[in-house]
Amino acid sequence: MPVLQCSAVKCMYNKDNLCSKGDIQVKGDHAATENETWCSSFVEKTGMSNAYTCGGGCSSIQVGCTAHDCTYNRQEICQADHVHIDGSQACICEETCCGTFRCE
């Protein structure tokens, strides 16, 4: 599993730039650049959303991925050693992106 670092601090699963969800899904079926990808697991924090998180953040989690042209995608699972989800100002999932994406 990749080491995950996430800068989407407005996501309810973000705990100290780690993810508390357990796994994430990166979308971008026809992506040719990282800006055409997004973390579809992103959920914006609200006053009540913190009640639904599952503990502290994990540094290694499974990353599902539909960015078929990414060099790290193997049968829709990311095989990169390190994944960075960008989106420090994101309020919706489409405002995030996979900074690790590399087009084949």
What is the full per-residue pLDDT of the chain (104 aa) written as tens digits? 899 999 999 999 999 999 999 899 999 999 999 999 999 999 999 876 554 555 678 889 999 999 999 999 999 999 999 999 999 999 999 999 999 999 99
Give the integer Cα–Cα distance in Å for 89 and 66: 23
Residue spans per domain, the chain: 3-46+53-98
